[in-house]
């Protein structure tokens, strides 16, 4: 039959229609790779890949190394190896110790370098090249906000590491992003009553603030918390990130009339500014008939090590501390200490917890789909992960839990014993309306890559 | 008035560090004609020689106490410093004075490092373009940084000052200006130390035969060689001297700024600006510009000035560099013919 003899008659049309209809009606799962990908990096084999994006070089490399240790431990525990750590105390838990949804957990790592562009590039590489279905880690709010945005665009889940700026779950929040770590508002709300109790209502504060998103957020929260208690703010001076020598910013404090210096600095900046403030004799001064005091709103044990004796007696807040005596914290410290010979930092803790929470959300929803994971995490109430009863608030994807106020240990018993918990501020005292910090989650992105 | 006085002091101790680094840079450039981007790394190496010295002094004998356990279930470690066990009060004195005492180690080590660097690497780049020198020395700086990070970690490591100079000096009472004018003792020590080092280097070059030959070599290398003097050998030693100046500057700076692997880079860029403002190849220019820029940087960060010109503290050094170079293209004390080929 030549092409010229082809005739479309009624019989042929009916045959074609029947065959086509049968093909369309066939269940898609009978057809190999029919669902090539329902969502980005849908696991098809026997394993699932997570992407851990931590600072491996740069100023926060030590913190990044501790985060990575925690991630590795979490993967080990999820795969049923080791002593199980906080999987044994976590409740309600759907984790079975056989990976996630029966698939072995594997991981790839990236180096954020604590730079937003480098962090985005490494996260992009892990998503596009390595097939990571979830990205976690980081030690800076600038990085967290940048990577969260990327994960939203790519359609993968972002479980933030150490990020403390209000903006991460405030004006820059995204539906695919979740934060377990506390924020600057909570630090202010927890520290305010303690500072009033210790130093009184009639105080004049001088702020030195790291000039980037976290610093601004921290200063605003501390000013709200202290000014509402009668304190006056004498000056709030922005300092460049990584200034090194802060002497030219500290000397004006001496003659400002202030009797409290609030250092809205973190990391190396905190180590340097605090050490230098102590060298300038601020802690030995008497101003307005009172002892001059220094406050560091966000404390980290790794950073406290760098500041040496300068941290003794200084108040701050922290997300978690290894000295906590609850069963979950002790289980984690035991597991981490046995593996690495040192207790975990708060950055390590939040990264470990975030990995477990992600895995549990997949198990709860029975899917790796971002839509299912988000649904499971939103409003999820849990306990046994070291912070007491905690809730992932649905409105902003921020965890709400008790906040620790700590003080630099006057007499440390070991090189790790640097901070003492002086107050556990209950969740009710640090909670706020989700609308207060602005922003919008938007829709969950669960599209294929 | 107090605030102005304090900012001058700030500028002097900051300027002291800039001047010391710039002096070393200029020595290397003036003698060997090498633009050494690894000079900041030498400052960092000096600092870490002190950190390493302190670590050795505070090495501890570790014994396990089976009656006490850590939070992760292993026996508690009981640590006793060897040096205090062996030498008693003298051991405690050594630990207390570890930063200044470390200079005994820093000086020969940095001299060796400088000579090794010049003989092993730099000399192969004498006749190469400045761009090649910059690339190779910058690469070397990165290698040194990464080595330090590998062995000492990325976090700053604080160093204590001797107890006797740990507090602040009540400078106000010295001049009848009131009690609010205080300044850390160690920063005053650092300023004095940098002045001594700068004068020593100048005196060495001015009043010794070795210095005279080096100065003659800086002026006309070929002429000096024709007189039968091995000027290359002397220049190698001068490079070592430059490394020592950078090293001791870094070592004594450790109590002011806890050193980390990146500390050299933070000073390097500013020091190059200092050298350019002072005039390439001019030792006096480097020192003058170091103190001048240090003081200007301190003043520009006063709240009164920042309220008029926000952010001026971030750009003042570069702004001054632009103005100086527009008005005096060879810098404050630059010589004709240097880097003008």
A179-210 pLDDT, tens digit per residue, is 999 999 999 999 999 999 999 999 999 999 99
- CB burial string B136-157: b at 16+ within 10 A, e below: bbbebbeebbeebbeebbbbbb
Domain ranges of chain A: 47-182+322-401, 185-318
- Specify the pLDDT at position A37: 66
The confidence score (pLDDT) of residue A3 equals 46
Portion of chain A with pLDDT greater than 70, in percent: 91
Instruction: Reduce the DSSP state of residue A205 to 3 states and report it.
Output: strand
Contacts of A57 in chain B (CB under 8 A): 149, 154
Distances (CA, A) of A332 to A180, A181, A218, A342, A402: 16, 17, 29, 12, 18
* B167:A281 CB<8 A: yes
What is the pLDDT of chain B when averaged over all its residues?
87
Q: Round to whole Å and give the CA distance between A430 and B87.
A: 54
Residue B327's pLDDT band (cuts 50, 70, 90): very high
Greater pLDDT, A272 or A52: A52
**Interface mutation vs chain B, best among A233, A279, A286, A306, most B CBs within 10 Å:** A279
Q: Count of CB atoms within 10 A of residue B200's CB?
A: 11
CB-based contacts of A422: which residues, under 8 Å, 6+ apart? A194, A315, A405, A406, A407
Instruction: State the average pLDDT over residues A271-298.
Output: 90
Identify whether the C-beta of residue B331 lies closer than 8 Å to the C-beta of residue B289.
yes
Query: What residue ranges in chain B does DSSP mark as E strands?
Result: 60-69, 75-81, 168-170, 182-184
Percent of chain A with pLDDT over 90: 72
Question: Number of residue pairs across A and B with CB atoms under 8 Å?
Answer: 120
Looking at per-residue pLDDT, the higher value among A56 and A374 belongs to A374
Where are chain B's structural domains? 2-61+97-327
Question: Is the pLDDT reported for residue A2 higher than 50?
Answer: no
Task: Please state whether B260 falls in left (phi above 0), alpha (psi between -120 and 50) or beta.
Answer: beta
- In degrees and rounded to multiples of 5, residue A11 shows phi and psi of -65, -45
A248 to chain B, closest Cα gap in Å = 5
Nearest CA in chain A to B165: A279
Among candidate residues A134, A280, A142, A294, the one with its CA nearest the CA of residue A210: A142
Residue A92: asked if its preceding bond is cis (omega within 30°), the reply is yes
Can you give the pLDDT at residue B226? 86
Q: pLDDT value at position B2?
A: 74
What does the mean pLDDT of chain A come to? 90
**What pLDDT, on a 0 to 100 scale, did the predictor assign at position A59?**
65
DSSP secondary structure code for residue B328 in this structure: -
Q: Which of B15, B54, B258 to mutate to test the interface with A (most CBs of A within 10 A)?
A: B258
Residue A5: strand, helix, or coil = helix
Taking the C-alpha atoms of residue B77 and residue B64, their distance in angstroms, rounded to an integer, is 5
| A334: nearest CB among B72, B153, B167 | B72
* CA atoms in the 13 A half-sphere facing the CB of B176: 0
SS (H, E, C) B237-282: HHHHHHHHHHHHHHHHHCCCCCCCCCHHHHHHHHHHHHHHHHCCCC
Q: How confident is the model at residue B305 (pLDDT cuts 50, 70, 90)?
A: confident
Predicted local distance difference test score (pLDDT) of residue A111: 94
| pLDDT at res. A394 | 97
Task: Give CA–CA dist A168/A94, Å, rounded.
Answer: 28
Each residue's pLDDT tens digit, A60-100:
777 899 999 999 999 999 999 999 999 999 999 999 999 99
Which of helix, strand or coil describes residue A222? helix
What is the per-residue pLDDT for A24?
53
Supply the angle between the helices B39-57 and B263-278 in degrees, to the nearest 10.
Answer: 140
CA B134 to chain centroid: 19
The rounded distance, in Å, linking the Cα atoms of B5 and B10 is 9
pLDDT (mean) for B271-286: 87
> Which chain A residues are Cβ-neighbours of B13 within 8 angstroms?
247
Beta bridge mates, A423? A405
Confidence of residue B196 (pLDDT cuts 50, 70, 90): very high
Closest CA to B15 of B198, B179, B164: B198
d(CA B181, CA A251): 9
Global pTM value: 0.81
What is the CATH number that goes with domain A185-318? 3.40.50.2300
- The more confident residue out of B25 and A316 is A316
Chain A residues touching residue B256 (CB < 8 angstroms): 245, 276, 279
Mutate to test the interface with B, among A86, A244, A332, A416 (most CBs of B within 10 A): A244
Query: How do residues A11-61 score in pLDDT, each as one tens digit?
Result: 655 666 666 555 555 554 444 334 456 899 999 999 999 999 999 876 677
A392 and A433 in contact (C-beta within 8 Å)? no
Nearest to A272 by CA among B251, B260, B315: B260
Contact residues, chain B, for A310 at CB < 8 Å: 158
pLDDT in tens, B118-174: 999 988 888 888 889 889 999 999 999 999 988 988 778 888 899 899 888 888 788
Q: What is the pLDDT of residue A204?
A: 97
Lowest mean per-residue pLDDT among A283-292, B97-106, B167-176: B167-176
Instruction: Name, in order, each residue with C-beta under 8 angstroms of A102's C-beta and a sequence gap of 6 or more.
Output: none
Burial class (CB in 10 A: 0-12, 13-18, 19+), B135: middle
Choices 2.40.30.10, 3.30.360.10, 3.10.110.10, 3.40.50.2300: CATH for A47-182+322-401 = 3.40.50.2300
Between B181 and A2, residue with greater pLDDT: B181
Contact residues for A368 (Cβ-Cβ < 8 A; gap 6+): A39, A42, A43, A48, A100, A101, A133, A362
What's the pLDDT score for residue A31?
A: 42
Q: Is the pLDDT of residue B232 over 70?
A: yes
**Nearest partner of A313 among A276, A284, A343, A349, judged by Cα:** A284
Residues 343-402 of A with CB under 8 A from B: 343
Task: Calculate the CA dihedral of residues A185, A186, A189, A193 and round it to 10 degrees.
Answer: -140
Selected residue with higher pLDDT from A284 and A198: A198
Quick one: pLDDT at residue B99?
Answer: 95
Confidence of residue B47 (pLDDT cuts 50, 70, 90): very high
- Give pLDDT, residue B107: 97
A253 contacts in chain B (CB < 8 Å): none
Q: Which residues of A touch B3 (CB under 8 A)?
A: 251-252, 255
The yes-or-no answer to whether A47-182+322-401 and A185-318 have a common fold is: yes
Task: Give the per-residue pLDDT at A370.
Answer: 96
Angle of helix A370-377 versus helix A346-365 axis, rounded to 10: 110
Q: Please judge whether A255 and B7 are an interchain contact, meaning their C-beta atoms are less than 8 angstroms apart.
A: no
- A307 close contact with B: CB closer than 8 A: yes
Cβ atoms of residues B271 and B25 within 8 Å: yes
Cβ distance A281 to B158 less than 8 Å, yes or no, reads: no
């Amino acid at each position: 039959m030549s092409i010229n003899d082809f005739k479309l008659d009624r019989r042929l049309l009916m045959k074609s229609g029947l065959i086509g209809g049968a093909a369309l009606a066939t269940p898609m799962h009978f057809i190999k790779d029919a669902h090539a990908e329902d969502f980005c990096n849908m696991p098809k084999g026997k394993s699932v890949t997570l992407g851990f994006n931590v600072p491996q070089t740069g100023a926060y490399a030590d913190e990044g190394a501790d985060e990575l240790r925690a991630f590795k431990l979490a993967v080990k525990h999820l795969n049923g190896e080791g002593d199980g750590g906080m999987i044994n105390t976590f409740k309600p838990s759907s984790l079975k110790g056989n990976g996630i949804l029966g698939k072995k957990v594997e991981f790839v790592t990236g180096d954020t370098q604590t730079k937003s562009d480098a962090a985005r590039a490494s996260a992009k590489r892990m998503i596009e090249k390595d097939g990571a279905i979830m990205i976690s880690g980081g030690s800076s709010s600038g990085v967290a906000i940048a990577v969260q945005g990327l994960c939203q665009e790519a359609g993968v889940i972002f479980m933030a590491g150490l990020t403390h700026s209000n903006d991460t779950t405030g004006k820059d929040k995204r539906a695919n992003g979740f934060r377990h770590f506390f924020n600057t508002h909570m630090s202010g709300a927890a520290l305010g009553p303690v500072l009033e109790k210790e130093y009184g209502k009639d105080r004049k504060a001088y702020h030195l603030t790291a000039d980037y998103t976290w610093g601004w957020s921290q200063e605003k929260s501390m000013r709200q918390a202290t000014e509402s208690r009668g304190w006056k703010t004498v000056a709030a001076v922005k300092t460049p990130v990584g200034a090194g020598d802060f002497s030219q910013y500290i000397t004006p404090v001496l003659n400002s009339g202030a009797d409290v210096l609030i250092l809205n600095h973190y990391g190396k900046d905190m180590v340097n500014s605090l050490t230098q403030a102590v060298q300038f004799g601020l802690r030995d001064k008497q101003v307005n008939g009172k002892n001059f005091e220094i406050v560091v709103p966000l404390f980290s044990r790794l950073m406290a090590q760098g500041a040496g004796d300068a941290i003794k007696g200084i108040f701050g807040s922290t997300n978690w501390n290894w000295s906590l005596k609850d069963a979950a914290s002790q289980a984690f410290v035991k597991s981490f200490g046995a593996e690495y010979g040192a207790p975990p930092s708060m950055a390590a803790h939040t990264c470990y917890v975030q990995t477990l929470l992600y895995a549990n959300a997949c198990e709860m929803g029975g899917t790796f789909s971002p839509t299912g994971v988000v649904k499971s995490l939103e409003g999820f109430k849990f306990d046994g992960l070291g912070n007491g009863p905690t809730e992932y608030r649905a409105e902003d994807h921020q965890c709400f839990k008790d906040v620790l106020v700590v003080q630099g240990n006057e007499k440390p018993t070991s090189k790790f014993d640097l901070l003492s918990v002086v107050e556990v501020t209950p969740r009710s005292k640090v909670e706020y309306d989700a609308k207060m910090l602005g922003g919008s989650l938007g829709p969950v992105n669960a599209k294929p890559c | 008035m107090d605030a102005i006085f304090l900012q001058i002091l700030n500028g002097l101790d900051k300027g002291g560090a800039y001047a010391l680094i710039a002096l070393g840079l200029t020595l290397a450039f003036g003698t060997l004609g090498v633009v050494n981007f690894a000079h900041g790394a030498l400052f960092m190496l000096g600092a870490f020689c002190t950190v390493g010295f302190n670590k050795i002094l505070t090495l501890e004998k570790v014994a396990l106490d089976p009656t006490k356990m850590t939070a992760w279930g292993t026996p508690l470690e009981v640590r006793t410093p060897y040096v205090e066990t062996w030498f008693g009060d003298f051991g405690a004195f050594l630990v207390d004075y570890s930063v200044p005492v470390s200079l005994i180690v820093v000086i020969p080590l940095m001299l060796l490092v400088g000579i090794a660097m010049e003989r092993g690497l730099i000399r192969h780049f004498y006749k190469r373009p400045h761009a090649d020198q910059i690339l190779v020395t910058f690469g070397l700086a990165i290698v040194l940084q990464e080595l330090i990070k590998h062995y000492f970690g990325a976090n700053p490591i604080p160093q204590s000052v001797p107890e006797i100079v740990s507090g602040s000096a009540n400078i106000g009472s010295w001049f009848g200006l009131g009690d609010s004018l205080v300044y850390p003792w160690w920063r005053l020590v650092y300023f004095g130390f940098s002045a001594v080092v700068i004068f020593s280097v100048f005196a060495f070059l001015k009043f010794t035969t070795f210095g005279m030959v080096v100065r003659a070599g800086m002026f006309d290398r070929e002429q000096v060689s024709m007189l039968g003097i091995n000027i290359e050998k002397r220049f190698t030693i001068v490079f070592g001297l430059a490394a020592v100046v950078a090293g001791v500057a870094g070592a004594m700076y450790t109590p002011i700024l806890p050193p980390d692997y990146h500390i050299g880079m933070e000073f390097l860029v500013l020091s190059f600006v200092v050298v350019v403002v002072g005039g390439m190849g001019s030792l006096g220019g480097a020192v003058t510009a170091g103190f001048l820029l240090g003081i200007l940087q301190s003043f520009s960060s006063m709240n009164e000035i920042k309220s008029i010109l926000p952010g001026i503290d971030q750009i003042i050094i570069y702004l001054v560099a632009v103005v100086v170079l527009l008005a005096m293209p060879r810098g404050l004390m630059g010589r004709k013919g240097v880097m003008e080929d």
